[in-house]
Amino acid sequence: MGDLVITEPLDMSVRHLATQKLQQYARLARIGVHIGEGFALGAASGALFFPHRQFQQPVIKFWHKRFCQVLGLNIIVHGKPDSRPALWVSNHISWLDIPVIGSHFPVYFLSKAEVGNWPLIGRLAKAGGTLYIKRGSGDANGVASQMASHLQAGRSVLFFPEGTTTDGKALKRFFHKLFQAACVTGADIQPVVLCYRDEKGELHAVAPFIGDDEFTEHLLNVLKEKRIDVELVVLPRVSINGRDERTLARDLRAMMTEALAKLQQGEI
């Protein structure tokens, strides 16, 4: 009598992998179309040639929102920010943070210089008004001055004070120099915190973009996921009240650390 061979679990696994691949390819095709739409919108709105115009913000927000839909990001926002311009700060987990935040709020982003060299996406980021800084270049004062100019022109600018991405479990130390933009202008600071969850409600293992992760590989892994839940919490605005950049960095980190812990524990 021959051995009994059970093939159903194997067949289910094969079907699951096939479904993942189809989803991945379909989303990749949609991203290609979406990037093309981004260039068309950028040209029509003038953002490709003359960024940082107020009337371009709804176009940028629309593009980010569509991008999040293509990526399968389900975003829940807790709280509502004041509409006045501010210096925004957020914890940093992934390149996904930018479309997530940009799909809901009219802010310009400060990003690492390498992003500007990414094919297509880098050009669109520039059209969206992204400012760049070279890590370790000692150019923080110059970038803070650029940020201050934007704040004085009535534009909100967001930077990630950790200076790098993390696995999302905790905040790294905050670099203080870029808080100088708020000190110079007197602008309020608008902190937000976010986390990515899987279908079980646990912190998502794929969403973080850290270490030596390569962008294309990470994007393909994200596209395999059925859905990624994102929670974003808008915290109360913080006024300068005579504090210097070191004190602001310390106080904001403490505030955001507490909020992130509550968010991860489901207390928000």
In order of start, what are the domains of the chain with their CATH numbers?
Answer: 8-264 (3.40.1130)
pLDDT band at 259 (very low <50, low <70, confident <90, very high): very high
Q: Does residue 18 carry a pLDDT above 80? A: no
List residues bridging with 196 in a β-sheet.
Answer: 230
DSSP 211-250: TT--HHHHHHHHHHSS-EEEEEEEPPPB--TT--HHHHHH
The span from the CA of 12 to the CA of 10, in Å, is 5
The answer to whether the CB of 71 falls within 8 A of the CB of 27 is yes
pLDDT, tens digit (0-9, with 9 covering 90-100), for 100-112: 999 999 999 987 7
Find the DSSP H helices in the chain. Answer: 8-45, 57-71, 97-102, 121-127, 140-152, 180-185, 215-224, 245-264
pLDDT band at 88 (very low <50, low <70, confident <90, very high): very high
Task: Please report the pLDDT score of residue 10 as a whole number.
Answer: 56
Q: At which residue do the structure tokens 């709804």 appear?
A: 58
Q: At which residue do the structure tokens 């060299």 appear?
A: 117
Q: What is the pTM of this model?
A: 0.88
Among 7-16, 66-75, 121-130, 239-248, the least confident range: 7-16
pLDDT, tens digit (0-9, with 9 covering 90-100), for 20-53: 778 888 888 999 999 899 999 999 999 888 888 8
Eight-state DSSP code of residue 178: G
pLDDT band at 142 (very low <50, low <70, confident <90, very high): confident
The span from the CA of 112 to the CA of 90, in Å, is 15
The Cα-based distances of 112 to 39, 161, 234 in angstroms read 22, 12, 24
Taking residues 132-144, what's their average pLDDT? 69
The span from the CA of 69 to the CA of 94, in Å, is 17
The answer to whether the CB of 168 falls within 8 A of the CB of 196 is yes
